[in-house]
Every structure is written in structure tokens, then in C-alpha cells.
Amino acid sequence: MPTVTCFGAAREVTGSCHLLEAAGVGRFLLDCGMHQGGDAVERVQDETFAFDPASLDAVILSHAHLDHSGLLPRLLHEGFTGPLLCTEATAELLVIMLKDAAGLYLRDLERANLRNRRRGRGEIAPRYTMEDVDAVIRSCQGYAYHQSVALADGASLVFHDAGHILGSAIIEIRCVEAGEPRTLVYSGDLGKTDSVLMRRPATLQHADLVMMESTYGDREHRTEIDTLAEFRGILHDTWARGGNVMIPAFAVGRTQEILFHLGCLYHAGELDDWQVFLDSPMAIAVTETYNNWLRLLDDTDRKALEAADRASLETFLPTLRLTPDTEQSMAINRIKSGAIIIAGSGMCTGGRIRHHIKQRIWDERNTLIFAGFQARGTLGRLLVDGIRKIRLFQDEFVVKAQIETLGGLSAHAGQSELVAWLSAFEGRPATVLVHGEASAQIALAERLQTELGIEAGIPERGEVITF
């Protein structure tokens, strides 16, 4: 019987990594993600693989977010030589994501080693190099949605649109073992049904085992209409206080959604006179990639861009300024009020947003808006949970800025949407919940039992599932 072993995102949200094994078919890794939170160097150095990377036949990637792809360079560094299978758009995004992450990691490692040398300590050897990133990119094989990909004798793979970010996919794998057909469906990260820019997640009908994400398994999201109204209100209130707005945004997905919302407010005459800054070289590059793949986006929202006679997300918002250079980023600090600053990283674990927080978190006129999930152990989670003092760059800052959360801008399906997606399957397929904190998974499992009669498992790290 085929088995899946959960090596990451098991009773936690980040670090997706699952090993599929089937006799006569092969060993396939579903995602190879990095855990989020804490020091970047420590995260990479402390990660370990509980399997031999050289023994894998292929890696199958659901999408480009680092909690699903961030350890791919280390996987190759430790011996993996097979192909990386993903969608075409994901392959393009990986070039940006992995090069940026590697640059940050290697710079942080260099600083850490400088400190170690000054203290007479040994240096830390890198777990991977930029050459490993290049090797990952060369190993990528991109496919279109719905295209059947042969894996081995009697086994095939199909990517379906997950509606989460550009190129995100639900992974469907069919194989035959001992004459018996088996189908695994791995949801990856499922998007909301009413998200802007993204299409609705595809629904499937048959599976012997469904591995479903559960990030928001214990809660619902506001509708896009209500969220946009809330967003508009926050902006107006901050404008009236003479403040600035900081938005820690994930470079892939959330940034582009926020730009679209701001563009809609601008064309409706409801954006006041805000100056908008996209202060993230990676997010700027990713937004250009979105422009290259507009045909994959939601038809209605694409038509809105066309109706405004704008061919890209950047030109849809005429007040937007791109600040790729460090000097341009630092110049934003001179603006006393009226600036909307969109910067990475989305959980405030690194990037330019930490410098903007340093400059403005202590001023009650300002607002910090979170528009996505904040994992445990991250600065973003601490701020959302109400911490009143933080430490940044070896200094302490009091938190006086308004802290707001726009749950409706999440790129993940809420509880009811997860239940509805699973209900489309025929019968009651075996189901396990991954990519979620235990409390969310327990709440979702209880509802699945009550409404669908499905007894969902909640695997621990290292647990083996047979199907």
C-alpha cells in the first residue's frame, strides 16, 4: 500500500514536507518548505531531513511560498538530483523567491561569522550556496494546469488551480500498486472563493486519501466587500490622524491583492491623497511576473484592469511609487504623514518592514495593518497578540501605533470553504489535516465529522499514513 509520511506542517502551519512512497512507483517529496519565525540563520542551520535526499525520485511542489519551497536549495546541497515538478508560473516565481531568500541567508550568515570571529569562535558553514539555488532552478519542470504528467509506470500527476497565489496548485497523484489503483489529493494551500485576482479553487471528485490544509480551520473570513470597507475605514481614520500606514505583505500574492484593492479605491475616488510605496525589490519583481501571467487570473478582475485602460497592476494605481533601492527606501522615513508603505516580510521576520516599524511603531498616529496569517514565534504574531514593547536592532520600542488585522485579505480558505471543498469528493475519502495549528485542526475535524461524517486524522511529525 502507498504511504505518506508527514515531515513538516504537521500540527503547525509552516515547513510543509511530505514523503510519498509507493512500491514500483517511487519516492516523491510533496513540498520542501522552511519553518518561519526566529533568526534566519538559525532556521536554516537547524533544519534537518529525516530521509536521504539522494533517494528521492522527484519533488512535487504545490507553490512558491517559502514555507513550501524554502529548503529546496539545501535538499540539492545534500544530494537530491532529480527533477522538480511544478506549474509554469511557480517555476518563474521560484527564481525570484529562492534567490532573494538565499541572498538574505548568506548575508546574515556572513554577519554572524564576523561576530564569531570577533569573539574568537568558530565559523558557521553554509547549509547551501547560491550555486545550489541555480541548480534548483535548472531542475524545474513547469507544467500547465490539467496537463497529465507521467511519473513512473502506472503513475501520473495533474496540477489543479488552488486559487491561493499565482501558480498555486492542488496536486493529484494516481498510481497502481499490486494491481490496485490509488489516488492521493494534496490540497497545498487553498485560496478563498472570493479572493480578488485569483480564480476559485478547483474541486475534485475522487480520492482515496485527501491531505487538506487547515490554516483557518477554526474561523471564517470577512467577505471581500466587507474587508474592502474595513480597509477604506482604516485608511480614512489614519489620514484624519495625520499618520502613516505600514503593511507587512508577503511578496507573492498578498502584495498584488493589496495593490489591486488600492487601485479600486483610487478609481472610485476614495483613496484621499495617499502616497503608496511598494518598498520591496522582491515584491516588485513578483508583481511584474503577475503581469506576465494575467491570463491565469480571475476573469472579472482582469477585465477591471482592462476597463481602466491599465495593462498592469502597477499602472492600475497611479499614485504607486516603486522603491527598489536602499536609498529610496530610507527616503520614505522623511515623510511625516500620508504614506502607505507596503514592505516585506509578511510576518515581520526580516526585510524592510522592520526598519519602517522601528521608525513609526511608537507614534500613535500611525497604523500597522496585518493582512495575512502570523505564525507563532514571529514578530507579527507578537504584535497581533497585543505586545506593548518590542526589541528591534538591539533597541526597545513602545508599541503605540494602531494594530489592525484584515482577516478578509487572507489567501487561505476559511473553515466553511474548507468544508465545502472537501464535500465535493464522492463518498467519504480518508482525510488528514495538515498545515494548521492543533486548535484549528481540532475545530475543523469536529465540523467535518458532524457535517460530512468524515473522521479526519491530525498527523504528528513523522507519522506514516497508509492509503
Looking at per-residue pLDDT, the higher value among 324 and 224 belongs to 324
pLDDT by residue (tens digit) across 122-158? Answer: 999 999 999 999 999 999 999 999 999 999 887 999 9
Q: Is the pLDDT of residue 309 over 70?
A: no
Per-residue confidence (pLDDT) for residue 191, from 0 to 100: 96
Mean pLDDT of 1-27: 94
Give every CB contact of residue 126 below 8 A, 6+ residues apart in sequence: 105, 106, 109
Per-residue confidence (pLDDT) for residue 407, from 0 to 100: 75
pLDDT by residue (tens digit) across 378-399? Answer: 999 999 999 999 999 989 999 9
Per-residue confidence (pLDDT) for residue 408, from 0 to 100: 83
Per-residue confidence (pLDDT) for residue 225, from 0 to 100: 87
Residue 43's pLDDT band, with cuts at 50, 70 and 90, is confident
Per-residue confidence (pLDDT) for residue 395, from 0 to 100: 95
Per-residue confidence (pLDDT) for residue 6, from 0 to 100: 98
Residue 230's pLDDT band, with cuts at 50, 70 and 90, is very high
Q: Is the pLDDT of residue 36 over 90?
A: no
Least confident of 86-90, 194-198, 202-206, 337-341: 194-198
Question: Percentage of residues in the chain with pLDDT exceeding 90?
Answer: 84
Q: Report d(CA 170, CA 346) in Å as an integer.
A: 23
Residue 311's pLDDT band, with cuts at 50, 70 and 90, is low
Mean pLDDT of 98-104: 93
Residue 217's pLDDT band, with cuts at 50, 70 and 90, is very high
The 3-state secondary structure of the chain reads CCEEEEEECCCCCCCCEEEEEECCCEEEEECCCCCCCCCHHHHHHHCCCCCCHHHCCEEECCCCCHHHHCCHHHHHHCCCCCCEEEEHHHHHHHHHHHHHHHHHHHHHHHHHHHHHHHCCCCCCCCCCCHHHHHHHHHHEEEECCCCCEEEECCEEEEEEECCCCCCCEEEEEEEEECCEEEEEEECCCCCCCCCCCCCCCCCCCCCCEEEEECCCCCCCCCCHHHHHHHHHHHHHHHHHHCCCEEEECCCCCHHHHHHHHHHHHHHCCCCCCCEEEECCHHHHHHHHHHHHCHHHCCHHHHHHHHHCCCCCHHHHCCCEEECCCHHHHHHHHHCCCCEEEEECCCCCCCCCHHHHHHHHCCCCCCEEEECCCCCCCCHHHHHHCCCCEEEECCEEEECCCEEEECHHHCCCCCHHHHHHHHHCCCCCCEEEEECCCHHHHHHHHHHHHHHHCCCCECCCCCCEEEC
Looking at per-residue pLDDT, the higher value among 411 and 84 belongs to 84
Q: Is the pLDDT of residue 310 over 70?
A: no
Q: All domains of the chain, ordered by start, with CATH? A: 3-219+411-466 (3.60.15.10), 224-409 (3.40.50.10890)
pLDDT by residue (tens digit) across 68-78? Answer: 999 999 999 99
Q: Is the pLDDT of residue 456 over 90?
A: yes
Q: Is the pLDDT of residue 39 over 90?
A: no
Q: Is the pLDDT of residue 375 over 90?
A: no
For residue 274, give the C-alpha cell. Answer: 495617499
